[in-house]
Amino acid sequence: MRGRTKWIGLGATAAVAALAAAGAWRYEKHVHSQPDWQIHHTAVPDAAKKVDDVFAGFERDHLSEADDYLHSAGQHPDVQVLSVTGRTHWQTGVTLTLKVTGHGVARGFDHVVLQQRDVPVCFRLQMGPEKDTRDDDIDCPAGAAPPVPRDPSLQGVDGRLQSALDPVGPDEAAVRAAVSALKLDPAIHQDFATRDGIVGVALRASRYDCVVARVAARGKVTLWRPSHTQLAPGELSCSAGLALSGVFNTSPH
């Protein structure tokens, strides 16, 4: 009797194992033959994180105009604005359609990566007039996307600027020549001013990407990046005059 019970238990275990193996095989076959569904499914949350960053930028910069939304969204990597309608947040509301690159992965039953690739995922953002909402993973519309010029960048410029200005001293012509020798992106705005024997320099790539420098003597050069808060609309301007003012190199209150 004990032997019979033992064989029954072994048979049941084998049956369960066989069913599990069959299920795993069918799953693997499905993923191998039709991986697109899983790749798209995993790409959506990856793309959604990038849309979260777009939204955060809107809120941080207190945007309200359609052109500002368009420009801000278009600066994010892997984000393309397909369309924008409306004029302002508080009047008509502004609707943006974004195509965002998400990374999708198809995994097998044992979590081994079978396929992976980047895929486009579209989102609709409604900014105002009463509340802000968004729809994820919508059908991507056809049509030409509006052009959005990319802002230049001052990333990595600080050290180069410091090295260029240290030897020249407070001579505006020499300072201009030193900055020119850096061969910065022509889209970066350059501003120079002299007051009381001190030269001020300002480099601005965008509203919040700004470096100002004060050249008081050879080897006495101070660089400062005003904070995001200090460069907000209605606050400080990225100018050579700022480098020569009493606000230079201060922290926001």
Q: Where do the structural domains in the chain lie, given as residue ranges?
A: 36-138, 157-243
Q: For residue 64, with 0-12 CB atoms within 10 Å meaning exposed, 13-18 middle and 19 or more buried, which class applies?
A: middle
* pLDDT confidence of residue 18: 43
User: One-letter amino acid identity for 192?
Assistant: F
Digit-coded pLDDT (tens) for 19-39: 444 444 454 555 455 678 999
Global pTM value: 0.76
Say what angle helices 36-60 and 66-74 make with each other, to 10 degrees: 130
Query: In this predicted model, what pLDDT tens digit does every residue of 148-157 receive, in sequence order?
Result: 999 999 999 9
Q: Which residue type does 167 have?
A: P
What pLDDT is stored for residue 108 in this prediction? 85
Q: Report phi then psi at 86, rounded to 5.
A: 95, 175
CA triple 141-68-140, angle to 5 deg: 10
Q: Please give the Cα distance from 82 to 74 (Å, whole number).
A: 10
Whether the pLDDT of residue 67 is over 70: the answer is yes
Which residues is 50 bridged to in the sheet?
Answer: none
pLDDT value for 19: 45
Those residues with Cβ within 8 angstroms of residue 19's Cβ, 6 or more apart along the chain or in another chain: none
Could you tell me where the DSSP H helices lie in 122-244?
157-165, 172-180, 240-243
Q: Are 99 and 121 in contact (CB under 8 A)?
A: yes
Residues belonging to the chain: 253
Give the three-state DSSP class for 195: strand
- The residue type of 34 is Q
